Amino acid sequence: MSDRPLAGLRLMHVHAHPDDESSKGAASTAKYVAEGVDVHVATCTGGERGSILNPAMDRPGVLEDIAAIRSAEMDRAREILGITQDWLGFVDSGMPDDPADLPVGSFAVVPLEQPVEALVRLIRTFRPHVMTTYDERGGYPHPDHIRCHEVSMAAYAAASDPTQFPDAGEPWQVLKIYYQFTFSRARMAALHQAMLDRGLESPYAEWLSHPSDPAWDARVTTRVPCADYFDVRDAALLAHETQIDPHGFWFAVPREVQQEVWPTEDFQLVDSKVSTSIPEDDLFAGIPYPVAD
């Protein structure tokens, strides 16, 4: 638990699809919830074009009702994590082979100001002290993840400016914004070696065969210790039954190995309106307490 009071602090995660809140930073979320932080997730799309990634859920009729199913999955994950959540209301773009084939009206192709205004309105309502989102690559090159980055950064800048979207509520200054670094090469390499040392098959061998970019991992500034909440993260993941195979990649490394070898979730501090020292171990480092409402 934190050695300083956190009640009254607010954290907003901005994600592209339902299940992203459980696969990226969920243990940190659970830790902060347990410590009294109000955590809110903004989900940009309904995940309507998601595939069935769990063989046990690949049943007739599931895809026809995928939007409702993914909404119900999000309900369960939200309860497990102890968060509040809003849908921004945009339609999943899918991941076509040709970016020119993105569906008309989907999140990745609607005019940018539409989702930016929706997120600004939510920021000004919830008034987070800290936000997290994806890096400029989207974490991985899904068009909705890249658009999520664009929307988040634009809304972060606009939310405090009274001249932008004046009908979207009273301006609010978010104090810090981070990129999530769930799949850093350093983390994958450490877990890969730990699996080999234990005589186990690593799920990261193929990923690590690709050329590395040392400058990318060097961007991590903040490692939040949250190993005690990996079980909550895993339960939230499993709530997304259509997306998460309980016998698949997400659970290939035993939880106790993860807790021992890489007990943190990692972030890059992108901008801060308060003074802080790098490296950090807390997304709220440098924010004075008590905070203004």
Indicate the annotated binding residues for Zn(2+).
17, 20, 145
Which of these, 149, 146, 117, lies nearest to 133 by C-alpha position? 149
User: Within a 10 A sphere around the Cβ of 140, how many other Cβ atoms?
Assistant: 11
Note whether 91 and 109 are within 8 A (CB). Answer: no
For residue 193, the surrounding DSSP H or E stretch is helix 185-197
Note whether 175 and 12 are within 8 A (CB). Answer: no
Note whether 178 and 12 are within 8 A (CB). Answer: no
Ordered strands of the 176-180 beta sheet: 84-90, 38-45, 10-15, 130-133, 176-180, 264-272, 222-225
Pairing mode, strands 176-180 and 10-15 = unpaired
Measured distance CA(165)–CA(30) in Å, rounded: 32
Give 91's DSSP letter: P
Q: What is the CA radius of gyration of the chain?
A: 19
Report residue 87: phi and psi, to 5°. Answer: -90, 130
Q: From the annotation, which residues make up the binding site?
A: 17, 20, 145
Question: What's the gap between Cα 17 and its chain centre?
Answer: 9
Strands (DSSP E) found in the chain: 10-15, 38-45, 84-90, 130-133, 176-180, 222-225, 264-272
